[in-house]
Structure 1
């Protein structure tokens, strides 16, 4: 190989290696620049304090903080003005980023309803009308938990009423008001929207149509079961519990044929002798417990 050709070939290889080295160096520097930019703090709007569901955001509830760019959540904002006036549909704790996923969609967008974002999957939101007393004098607020009690007539005894807890530890989704007509004039009726399973929703709707409802506000830490059997007037006045629903009459066994007796006395024939039938005696049983001592009393009906 002649010397000029050798020089040309070496020069070509030198240029190729130099180009490859330059390209690798450029790529490495670009990656380093991207890494530096990724960790550089960016502006992000977070909650200044805990924000509950249903809150309309105000500027005083938000603040701007620094956040690594590569970990900024999607749907976040960099200025409080972008979020003021939006409604919170997910609880936001202090220091959390305020994102679109935690806020009600803007007006005009599909699915902009508020309640549909609050109802848990598999549950139903049921709204019932209550009066001021039944609504615990207006002290019910979203996220409170209540027991629901219904007062209605017994199915087999229209003269006897019963009060019974039908639902326990039910979360409140919202409270509000509706306009109703009374004597031709509009009146405002308080309402309570509850979070229920479909089967419990059926119980509530049926009970509301048959009787009156009352809300029993629970302590925030109380989630125990009540297990109440209900209360009737007889039970309240006498302290003796009667079954709420009478049992179906059992089939009677064949009885000896009554035989007529003198003097209008009716009886049954047993062993050839007429025996007067005794009237059944119904007794009430009252148990009194004092420490380890237990006393039982029986009273005729």
Structure 2
């Protein structure tokens, strides 16, 4: 009996030791996994919320809160003007940029086409309740000015809303024909009656373009358009060169030099007067001084 009790005791101690060993091994493994997960989490990129569309949107199409959802993207990989929340409070400092303020029921409209799950951009949608068009594209305190163009002055129909152009004026200055750069880097907000920057129809020659300008530029361009001919020059998207004053006349263009006018002092004339038969006679003689 004592032998059986001793065997049972030895077996129990052995099982207990084995259980402790297994527990220690499990704890060690769990701690290693925990440390690995913490290290991986620390190295993982930070994620932020971005609002995307759940369906395709065309230019001018209205959308509401039901057409949007929030996804996670890597911080620093989203556009600066992307929305971070579908709804949010108004007037709260450091609040996430929201598509709609709380309580807003008016829809917004897309200013360009969107594909499903594409980030929604604040600069590419209208304000709530506003349709797409020139009004939606105008920056605060700016004006819309329309310029008449043709195939030559309008860059052969390659202009699109959002492009930037330089404006040249050609006309008479006195008796000379002159071409002068009068404005630079004007933003176009509409071509003919379309403000859609994503229009995909074949290239057509525009009859008018509408630019975003200041009130002072409106006055200058109105005068220029009524006194001469305006020509547009398309500015490249990567152009950073500052353009100075440019003016050229016909003579400079053709390399014609104006004739020099040399003033010659009239020669001094000396005379001597004599009387002959009562008549006064004046005779030229060389001047001695």
TM-score (norm 1): 0.47
The structure that has the greater radius of gyration is 2
TM-score (norm 2): 0.48
Identify the structure with bigger relative contact order (alpha carbons < 8 Å, sequence gap 6+).
Answer: 2
